[in-house]
Amino acid sequence: MHALIVDDSRATRRLIARMLDAIGIDSTEAENGRDALDRLRDIETPDVILVDWNMPEMDGLTLIKTLRAERAYDRLPVLMVTSETEPTYIVRALAAGADEYTMKPFTADGIAEKLRLIGVLS
């Protein structure tokens, strides 16, 4: 299994990568939505994308909308991992095509549970 982690914070990307590694998921990192789209062209399609909302160049919401508009990625599981806690953000992310939403700070168990909910883990 392979994940693409998209977050402008290197520390957050590394934290998520360690959590995923502990449950047997390899990962590739991208620092914003544009970087993620570039990485998707270079790697085999991942099993899941974990994406932050607030990033420079292309934010997470725009990335999700872009992915859902492309046939190759329209069914790719997406977990929004963000510090945005307002209910309106959750609604907007899910309406844009996120499969699940979790808020920072998060735990390894919380990430694993969300991945189970969207069918990435059994």
Look at the block and give the residue holding tokens 């694993």. 112
Quote the CA–CA distance of 122 and 57 in Å, as a whole number.
Answer: 35
pLDDT of residue 48: 98
Look at the block and give the residue holding tokens 């998060």. 106
Query: pLDDT for 38-47, tens place per residue?
Result: 999 999 999 9
Report whether 97 contacts 66 (CB < 8 A): no
pLDDT of residue 27: 98
CATH of the domain spanning 2-117: 3.40.50.2300
pLDDT of residue 60: 97
Quote the CA–CA distance of 45 and 18 in Å, as a whole number.
Answer: 20
Specify the pTM: 0.96
What residues does each domain of the chain span? Answer: 2-117
Report whether 60 contacts 84 (CB < 8 A): no
Other beta carbons less than 10 A from residue 1's beta carbon: 14
| pLDDT less than 50: residues of the chain | none
Helix ranges restricted to H, 23-86: 33-42, 60-69
pLDDT of residue 36: 98
